[in-house]
A = this chain, B = another copy of it.
Amino acid sequence: MNKIHNYSAGPCILPQEVFEQAANSINNFNNTNLSLIEISHRSNDFIEVMEEARSLVKELLNIPDGYTVLFLQGGASLGFLTTAYNMMRSNKTGGYIVTGAWAKKAAKEADFVGQKKILASSEDANFNYIPKNYKVPSDIDYLHLTSNNTIFGTQIKEFPTSNTPLVCDMSSDIFSKKIDVSSFDLIYAGAQKNMGPAGTTLYIVKDEIIGKSSVSIPTMLDLKTHADKDSMFNTPPVFAIYTSMLTLQWLKGNGGLDWIENRNNNKANLIYSEIDRNSLFNGTAEIEDRSNMNATFTLNNEALKEQFDSMILSANISGLKGHRSVGGYRASMYNALPLESVQILVDVMKELEVKFG
Q: Chain A residues in contact with chain B, CB under 8 A?
A: 1-4, 6, 8-14, 19-20, 22-24, 26-27, 32-35, 37-41, 73-78, 80-81, 105, 108-109, 112-113, 190, 192, 197-200, 216-221, 233-240, 243, 318-319
Across the interface, which residues of B come within 8 angstroms of A200, CB to CB? 199
Determine if B219 and A109 form an interchain contact, defined as CB atoms under 8 angstroms apart.
Answer: yes
Taking the closest CB of chain B, its distance from the CB of A92, in whole angstroms, is 15
Contact partners of A220 in chain B: CB under 8 A: 74, 77-78, 80-81
Query: CA–CA, A105 to B233, complex, Å?
Result: 12
Point out the residue from B23, B40, B108, B112 that lies within 8 Å of A319, measured CB to CB: B40
Instruction: State which of B3, B38, B112, B243 has its C-beta within 8 Å of the C-beta of A8.
Output: B38
Residues in B whose Cβ lies below 8 Å from that of A199: 73, 199-200, 237-240
- What residues of B have a CB within 8 angstroms of the CB of A77 in the complex? 219-220, 233-234
Contact assessment for A4 and B198 in the assembled complex, using a CB-CB cutoff below 8 Å: no
Verify B198–A238 contact, CB threshold 8 A: yes
Tell me which residues across on chain B come within 8 A of A40, comparing CB atoms: 8-11, 319
Q: Are B243 and A240 in contact (CB under 8 A)?
A: no
5 contacts between A and B (CB under 8 A): A11-B238, A37-B198, A73-B78, A198-B235, A199-B237
Question: How distant is A247 from chain B, measured CB to nearest CB, in Å?
Answer: 10
CA distance A220 to B235 in the complex (A): 19
Report copies per complex. 2
In this complex, what residue of B is CB-closest to A112? B218
Cβ contact within 8 Å between A6 and B38 = yes
- Chain B residues contacting A240 (CB-CB under 8 Å) are 199, 237, 239-240
Question: Shortest Cβ distance from A322 into chain B, in angstroms?
Answer: 13
Task: Known pairs A11-B235, A20-B27; list 19 more (Cβ under 8 Å).
Answer: A2-B33, A3-B33, A8-B40, A11-B38, A19-B27, A19-B38, A22-B26, A22-B37, A73-B75, A73-B199, A80-B220, A81-B218, A109-B218, A112-B216, A112-B217, A190-B235, A198-B235, A198-B237, A199-B238
A20 to B, closest residue via Cβ: B27
Q: Which residue of B lies closest to A46 (CB)?
A: B11
Minimum Cβ distance to chain B for residue A213 (Å): 13
- Contacting pair B10 A235 (CB below 8 A): yes
Q: In the complex the two chains form, what is the Cα distance from A190 to B234 in whole Å?
A: 11
Q: Is the CB of A243 within 8 A of B37?
A: yes
Residues of B within 8 A of A112 (CB): 216-219
Cα-based distance from A12 to B80 in the complex (angstroms): 32
* Contact with A75, one of B33, B75, B221, B235 (Cβ below 8 angstroms): B235
B-chain residues with CB within 8 Å of residue A113 when the two chains form the complex: 218
CB distance from A47 to the nearest CB of B (A): 13
